[in-house]
A = this chain, B = another copy of it.
Amino acid sequence: MKKRIIKLLIWLSVLLNILVVTAVILAVTGKLIPLLAPLRMTNMESPNYERLVSQFEGFTVQSGDVVFLGDSITQGGAWHELFPERPVRNRGIGGDRTKGILNRLHQVTNGNPSQVFLLIGTNDVSFGETDETIVDNIVTIIERITDESPETQVFVQSILPRGASYQERIETLNSKIRAAIGDRGEWIDLYSLLLDEDGSIADRYSNDELHLLGAGYAVWKEAIASRVRVP
């Protein structure tokens, strides 16, 4: 009896170790995070998300404002320094996805801003959303902006390149978004400006194949400078 229990414990131990070793191998080869993505805290529950939303609640967007709306890539931009003397508001939140934007869109449309520059979708890809869901959500975002704040000009910026393995997916997705928005928003192609020959985002623009370095923001600024409203 005692021997059987010990044998059972040993087998449980071996089994647990196989799981641990598998997890380590997946982690090292970069496959663990995507597999666990559905289990991760959704962006709308993270403490950082709540902090930014609570801060934005106190700063009402004003008529005349230029709103940069998106995820960590937008959040990371020093928009006031990229466009001094222009009435910009940074409304990027790290980890945000298309449905997160829909949840907090009233904080933007409430104030009837002059312009919205939207860049969203790359985290949807990481979380395994389909192209159809992402495209539908982006179209809904534009329709809601136009509905709730008819004077607002909407600029939809292409999803940025990432690692080369994302090239086909993101290029297809960008084509679908562009086709779906039609003339409901102005399309701005940042993708091809940041792309390297190997299909990834160029090293001089990103140090993690996702977020932008100062040189990346400079390219972005250059691409939209003539469109950003001067008061």
A residues lining the B interface (CB < 8 Å): 10, 13-14, 16-17, 20, 47-48, 50-52, 54-59, 76-78, 80-81, 89-90, 207-208, 211-215, 217-218
Q: What is the bound-complex CA distance between A76 and B90, given in angstroms?
A: 12
Q: Known: A50-B213, A211-B51. Is A218-B58 also a contact (CB below 8 A)?
A: yes
A47, B207: Cβ atoms under 8 Å? Answer: yes
Residues of B contacting A78 in the complex (Cβ-Cβ under 8 angstroms)? 55-56, 59, 90
Q: Give the 7 A-B CB pairs with smallest separation, nearest first.
A: A54-B214, A55-B214, A59-B81, A80-B80, A47-B208, A54-B213, A47-B207
- A204 → B minimal CB distance (Å): 10
Residues of B contacting A54 in the complex (Cβ-Cβ under 8 angstroms)? 213-215
Smallest Cβ-Cβ distance to A55: which chain B residue: B214
Q: What is the bound-complex CA distance between A16 and B78, given in angstroms?
A: 47
Residues of B contacting A48 in the complex (Cβ-Cβ under 8 angstroms)? 211
A55, B13: Cβ atoms under 8 Å? Answer: no
Q: What is the bound-complex CA distance between A52 and B76, given in angstroms?
A: 8
- A48 → B minimal CB distance (Å): 8
**Cβ-neighbour of A14 out of B10, B55, B212, B213 (below 8 A):** B10
B90, A214: Cβ atoms under 8 Å? Answer: no
Interface of A is mostly: helix
Residues of B contacting A55 in the complex (Cβ-Cβ under 8 angstroms)? 76-78, 81, 213-214, 217
- A226 → B minimal CB distance (Å): 20
Residues of B contacting A208 in the complex (Cβ-Cβ under 8 angstroms)? 47
Q: What is the bound-complex CA distance between A59 and B221, given in angstroms?
A: 13
A213, B10: Cβ atoms under 8 Å? Answer: no
**Cβ-neighbour of A51 out of B13, B20, B76, B81 (below 8 A):** B76
Residues of B contacting A20 in the complex (Cβ-Cβ under 8 angstroms)? 16, 20
Q: What is the bound-complex CA distance between A81 and B16, given in angstroms?
A: 52
Q: What is the bound-complex CA distance between A218 and B16, given in angstroms?
A: 49
Q: Could you pull out 17 A-B pairs where Cβ atoms are within 8 angstroms?
A: A13-B14, A13-B17, A20-B20, A47-B207, A50-B207, A50-B213, A51-B76, A51-B207, A51-B212, A51-B213, A51-B214, A52-B76, A54-B215, A55-B81, A56-B78, A56-B214, A58-B214
Residues of B contacting A76 in the complex (Cβ-Cβ under 8 angstroms)? 51-52, 55
